[in-house]
Amino acid sequence: MLEHCITLVVGAARDGPLGLFILENVAGLTHKRRKLDPSAAEQIMGQVRTEFGAGWSVSLTHANALHFGLPQSRHRIFIIGRRLELYPHGVPAGLPTFARKNVAVQQFLCPPEHMLGVREYTEQQKENLKQWRVAARSLLLNRSLEGKYIIFPADRDPTGRTVWTGSALTPDRCPCLTRSGPMLHIMSTGHGDDPPIDRPLQPYEHGMMQGFSTYICRAMVDEPVTAVQAFGNAMAVPVIGSVIANELASIIRQIGGAGLTEFLSRFGVSRWPLAAGDPGTPPPGLGSALIQGSVSQLFSTRLDQQGVANPGQDAELADQPFGAAADGRCGAGSRASGSTEASLFLGGKGGVAVSDS
């Protein structure tokens, strides 16, 4: 799959106005089997650098959803390729984060009207849950933890460990959501031995903890298995949104709307959507970055000087079922109301952020 993604990216660079590409994958690609051997990520970057040549910069950055307003421990790498003519003053030095402390799981919980029937556990899973309750008893009894939640896999007991989860219980922290990961269970803490919430994690909550809008989470609950797989295989919305917005903001600051328009015109792209006014005028701020995740829907995320708005608090997007333009700004102190939309591929038929989670 990743090889196919690279082929698509190389083809787009040769045949069209590709100015930026982003490949997302698991952090395990950076691990080395032997100390002197290159990691899979290093091999991929070497291949891409060879294909693209001196006119491009290819680098790798790490990001965890915990640092972008989500209560999920999800560590991913992003291989970012940049056409250097769009960055005459240098590429971004890093990816700013905005969440400095844990986000409360409570704001991501499923409302009663979208709750599905409780799935029947197997006998082994029931036995695992008994052991988890014993392991978590101090958290259940700790009144200072009232309003918090623990999330753990019902497929194993507390002594086990998988590629997705460790063995420790941390309140208000969800293990990494994946397409084929373990069945997760959520339990409220601080209420004693009879917690008011003690059930499987809902498909709606899988989506919310990936940063998807309430509209998308509601729309997917009718197909719970598909929803869990799709949300688990998707990229965390505020993370990929921040990666893209960081790059587009850098391009706009360096060459402006006029420079980007001139770049695209060389490939026969007559305009790029610039809601703020004249396409040749640098926009007052980058209002939205369009991204396409593994559930094949468009979403946007807000980028401000201090960071991205918490997706768990976003307004409903019922009037924009396949995407939404946020009004956050990333200009230098700008608070103008205009917004700019740009695709990841900076022109052509739109952009794709490729995921192979």
- For the segment 285-338, what is each residue's pLDDT rounded down to a tens digit? 322 333 333 222 222 333 333 333 333 333 332 232 222 222 222 222 222 222
Min mean pLDDT across 50-59, 258-267, 321-330, 339-348 is at 321-330
Residue 280's Cβ-count burial label (10 Å; 0-12, 13-18, 19+) is: middle
* pLDDT recorded at residue 270: 64
* pLDDT recorded at residue 102: 78
Min mean pLDDT across 109-113, 147-151, 339-343 is at 339-343
* pLDDT recorded at residue 276: 36
Sorting pLDDT into bands at 50, 70 and 90, what band is 184? very high
* pLDDT recorded at residue 161: 58
* pLDDT recorded at residue 308: 33
Count Cβ atoms below 10 Å from residue 178 Cβ, excluding itself.
18
* pLDDT recorded at residue 241: 85
Count Cβ atoms below 10 Å from residue 188 Cβ, excluding itself.
22
Sorting pLDDT into bands at 50, 70 and 90, what band is 272? low
- For the segment 121-133, what is each residue's pLDDT rounded down to a tens digit? 999 999 999 999 9
Which pair of tokens denotes residue 53? 């040549």
pLDDT of 105 > 60? The answer is yes
| Contact call for residues 42 and 33 (beta carbons, < 8 A) | no
Please give the distance of CA 76 from its chain centroid, rounded to a whole number. 9
**Reported pTM:** 0.75
* pLDDT recorded at residue 247: 87
Distance CA 32, CA 6 (A): 21
Sorting pLDDT into bands at 50, 70 and 90, what band is 258? confident
What's the 3-state SS for 21-88?
A: EEEEEEHHHHCCCCCCCCCHHHHHHHHHHHHHCCCEEEEEEEEEHHHHCCCECCEEEEEEEEEHHHCC
